[in-house]
């Protein structure tokens, strides 16, 4: 048998063996172009696509100039575009669903820990404010020495030159680091989380007291609140994630402590991913709007707008599902899980 005859026979066997798969792929391609494939047929589509891709590689090796190879090449290209176009859309849809629905729901489910986190921070803030306001010398216990001893000069602060891009980036990184400390320290029985929240609260309270002693409280809060409303809120969420993680060490429920920690860790990591865009927004505000030479009332207006934005974003689960006792356990009862499930 001549080599050409053998090659022709091999090509004929190759086509006959795989023609059914190619025809089926063509059918699925025409169906996929019209509407989304059901899951079972989508799985079949991906399987046949992989087989046809290997057929194309074989044809390119043994029949590089034959029309069958051109046919397979076009078929694979069409399937590739459909497959990865759908995957990309699905990926973007999952991201949108997470930020628009799942993240606020996770906040709702762990609102008790958010409340505790906020109370710890406020205790530190109020304690430092009262002590420093009564005796300025107490400021050194809550603030760096140079900050505690500084002379308050609002005009100098207002006229300070900022490299907005650099400052904004540094602030974002610093705030994200604080948040991740609040979260990761949860693994240390929550002690590190409590300390980080309390310590950052004392810094705010001590600094606020220094400005109030100089009768510059209005300026101070106008300088802090535009970015601080978002910044502090999401730091409290990070604290809630850390406390929730620590809670599962003490109260694993029906699971072993290891499995309870792993399960809760997966959820709280999602919460930390959710806060990152908010830190970016807070950093942009602090880098560009906070230092702007605007009337003080406009700064308070920005703070009010950010507060309303947070209220609507995180508040819709409370409006939709109400205040439920089940919510105050991160592992909700099954009926609540069914009600809150993201479809």
Q: Which sign, positive or negative, has the C-alpha torsion 12, 18, 19, 20? A: positive
Stretch 132-140: mean pLDDT: 90
Average pLDDT over residues 198-225: 91
Residue 154: pLDDT over 70: no
pLDDT tens, 50-80? 899 888 888 888 877 788 888 888 888 888 8
Mean pLDDT over residues 76-95, rounded? 72
Confidence of residue 254 (pLDDT cuts 50, 70, 90): confident
Q: Over range 106-122, report the average pLDDT.
A: 95
How far CA 267 is from CA of 92, 110, 225, 248, 330, in Å, comes to 20, 10, 30, 12, 10
Mean pLDDT of the chain: 81
CA angle 303, 304, 306 (to 5 degrees): 65
The pair of structure tokens assigned to 296 is: 């003080």
Q: How confident is the model at residue 338 (pLDDT cuts 50, 70, 90)?
A: very low
Q: Is the pLDDT of residue 146 over 90?
A: no
pLDDT band, very low/low/confident/very high, at 194 (cuts 50, 70, 90): very high
Residue 271, number of CB atoms within 10 A of its CB: 24
pLDDT of residue 159: 56
Question: Could you write out the DSSP letters of every residue in 219-236?
Answer: HHHHHHHHHHHHHHHHHH
pLDDT tier at 328, thresholds 50, 70, 90: very low
Looking at residues 231-237, what average pLDDT do you find? 94
For the ranges 56-65, 103-112, 280-289, the maximum mean pLDDT occurs at 103-112
| Distant-in-sequence, close-in-space partners of 219: CB < 8 Å, separation ≥ 6 | 154, 211, 296
Rounded to two decimals, what is the model's pTM? 0.68
Residue 158: predicted pLDDT: 57
In which band, very low, low, confident or very high, does the pLDDT at 85 lie, cut at 50, 70 and 90? Answer: low
**Does the pLDDT value for residue 218 go beyond 50?**
yes
Which is higher by pLDDT, 288 or 229? 229
Q: Who wins on pLDDT, 149 or 334? A: 149
């Amino acid at each position: 048998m001549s080599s050409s005859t053998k090659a022709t026979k091999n090509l004929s066997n190759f086509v006959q063996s795989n023609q059914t798969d190619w025809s089926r792929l063509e059918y699925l391609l025409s169906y996929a172009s019209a509407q989304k494939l059901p899951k079972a047929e989508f799985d079949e589509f991906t399987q046949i696509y992989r087989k046809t891709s290997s057929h194309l590689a074989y044809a390119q090796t043994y029949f590089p100039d034959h029309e069958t190879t051109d046919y397979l090449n076009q078929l694979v290209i069409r399937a590739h575009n459909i497959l990865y176009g759908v995957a990309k859309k699905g990926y973007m849809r999952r991201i949108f669903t997470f930020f628009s629905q799942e993240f606020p729901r996770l906040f709702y489910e762990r609102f008790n820990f958010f409340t505790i986190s906020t109370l710890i921070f406020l205790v530190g803030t109020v304690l430092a404010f009262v002590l420093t306001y009564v005796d300025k010398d107490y400021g050194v216990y809550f603030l760096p020495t140079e900050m505690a001893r500084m002379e308050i000069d609002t005009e100098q602060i207002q006229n300070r030159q900022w490299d907005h891009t650099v400052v904004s980036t540094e602030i974002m990184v610093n705030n994200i680091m604080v948040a991740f400390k609040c979260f990761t320290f949860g693994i240390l029985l929550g002690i590190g989380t409590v300390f980080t929240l309390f310590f950052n609260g004392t810094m705010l309270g001590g600094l606020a007291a220094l400005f109030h002693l100089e009768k510059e409280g209005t300026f101070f809060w106008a300088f802090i609140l535009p970015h601080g409303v978002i910044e502090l809120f999401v730091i409290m969420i990070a604290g809630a994630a850390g406390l929730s993680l620590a809670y599962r060490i003490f109260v694993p429920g029906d699971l072993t402590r290891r499995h309870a920690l792993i399960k809760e860790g997966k959820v709280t990591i999602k919460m930390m991913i959710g806060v990152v865009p908010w830190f970016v927004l807070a950093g942009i505000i602090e880098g560009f709007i906070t230092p702007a030479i605007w009337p003080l009332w406009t700064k308070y207006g920005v703070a009010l707008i950010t507060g309303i934005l947070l209220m609507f974003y995180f508040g819709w689960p409370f409006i939709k599902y109400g205040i439920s006792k089940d919510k105050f356990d991160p592992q909700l009862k099954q009926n609540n899980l069914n009600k809150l499930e993201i479809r």
